[in-house]
Amino acid sequence: MGMTITIGNVTIKKTAALAPLAGVADRAFREVCRKLGACYTVGEMTSSKGLTYHNQKTANLLALGESEHPGGIQLFGDDPLTMARAAEMALAYQPDMIDINMGCPAPKVAGNGGGSALMKRPQLAGQIIREVVRAVPVPVTVKFRKGWDDQSVNAVEFAKMAEQNGAAAVTIHGRTRQQMYAPSADWQIIRAVKQAVSIPVIGNGDVDSVASAIGMYEQTGVDLIMIGRGALGNPFLFSQIDRYFTDGTLLPDPPLEQRLGYLLEQTRLAVEYKGESVALKEARKHAGWYLKGSPGAARLRERAGGLKTMADLQMLVDEALLQEQKARQRRQ
């Protein structure tokens, strides 16, 4: 398999990308994932309306780190001209690509006509893509789902429509809006999309290990895989995939100490970018993911719910490592 893919004028290593996860894949998490081998990252979904109304909170979502190239910025909205204007404004943050969200299942996005609701209005979706492509010099990609619900699976037609309107690549998540994130993702529909268009196709859904990464590439023929929830609490997955595709080595899962080291590093970066109070509030859920499967995880997760300072987090990490040490001694 070729070691790189090209989208427009952007070359990306063919390993695994990190999906844009609103409220989760912030700059700090993305930078840790990049350091560990994620070949491409996309910023958090940003409102085109918020951006064009010069909302500062919106603008903060757009900053890409130095290591985030090639990297994309993701916009959502349902008005073609507002989307085009927002894409122009986003160029100030030097994204290598602009990604349009047509897959978000969240009610506050889909309920307002954006995200996955656009799958029900392919004509409007086409206008949006066309206007954004016309507005910016960088490649424009589109992320969408299998369909709105099981009765309206239209990913193949939707992908062709995106290509016809100038999209440089598409990302397909193998679930419908109705499924949100439950039952397993449909890789057959990803394969069908790949066979239907000539632009690169990125596959998303249920990749959480080297084995499933290989599986998605083999079963769907996609040009690139994108990992979302599979990377939460385990950014090291990118190192494992990168290494496997480089020389066939299967790296073992990292010990807890190493995993929690990434949590500390990620939170320190977040403190730098958003201040301690916001960063630690957001670190609570990340800590829960990083602690998954560790001895006494349930109680530790409960404690993570009260994190307020870096010192609290350091104490939690020390406690988790102590629990693990005790568990290991009991086993010996």
Q: Domain check: are 322 and 272 in the same one?
A: yes
Same domain, 162 and 299: no
pLDDT confidence of residue 191 = 98
Amino acid identity of 179?
Q
Last residue of a domain, one of 247, 272, 304: 247
Asked if 158 and 111 sit in the same domain, the reply is: yes
CA distance 104 to 25: 15
- Co-location of 9 and 101 in the same domain: yes
> Based on the domain organization, do 164 and 122 belong to the same domain?
yes
The Cα–Cα gap between 35 and 100 comes to 25
- In this structure, the answer to whether residues 236 and 298 fall within a common structural domain is no
Sequence-distant (6+) residues with CB within 8 A of 135 are 84, 85, 87, 88
| 226 and 297, same domain (yes or no) | no
Beta bridge partners of 6: 11
CA-to-CA dists, residue 125 to 42, 51, 117, 155, 162, angstroms: 20, 19, 10, 13, 8
Residue 300 and residue 237 in one domain: no
Phi, then psi, of 171 in degrees rounded to 5? -115, 125
Cα gap 235→139, rounded to integer Å: 27
Q: Which domain holds residue 48?
A: 4-247
CATH code, domain carrying 35: 3.20.20.70
Q: What are the E-state strand segments in the chain? A: 4-7, 10-13, 16-18, 41-42, 46-47, 71-76, 97-102, 140-147, 169-176, 201-204, 224-227
Give the CA distances from residue 318 to residues 264, 300, 309, 323, in Å, rounded to whole numbers and listed in that order.
11, 11, 14, 9
Domain count, the chain: 2
- For 173, phi then psi, to 5°, come to -95, 125
With beta carbons less than 8 A apart as the criterion, state whether 141 and 7 touch: yes
pTM confidence score: 0.96
Which DSSP letter does residue 65 get? Answer: -
Q: What is the pLDDT of residue 1?
A: 54
For strands 201-204 and 224-227, give the pairing. parallel
Q: CATH number for the domain including 294?
A: 1.10.1200
The position carrying tokens 């970066």 is 269
User: 49-69 in b/e burial notation, b at 16+ Cβ within 10 A?
Assistant: bbbbeeeeebbebbebbeebe
Q: Are residues 216 and 305 in the same domain?
A: no
Out of 222, 247, 272, a domain closes at 247
Helix, strand, coil share (%) of the chain residues, nearest 5: 50, 15, 35
Collapse the DSSP code of 74 into the 3-class scheme (helix H, G, I; strand E, B; otherwise coil) and give the result. Answer: strand
The catalytic residues are 104
Identify the three-state secondary structure at position 153. strand
Residue-wise pLDDT tens for the chain (332 aa)? 569 999 999 999 999 999 999 999 999 999 999 999 999 999 999 999 999 998 888 878 899 999 999 999 999 999 999 999 999 999 999 999 999 999 998 899 999 999 999 999 999 999 999 999 999 999 999 999 999 999 999 999 999 999 999 999 999 999 998 887 777 899 999 999 999 999 999 999 999 999 999 999 999 999 999 999 999 999 999 999 999 999 999 999 999 999 999 999 999 999 999 999 999 999 999 999 999 999 999 999 999 999 999 999 999 999 999 999 999 999 98
Residue with tokens 């499967």: 293
C-alpha R_g of the chain: 20
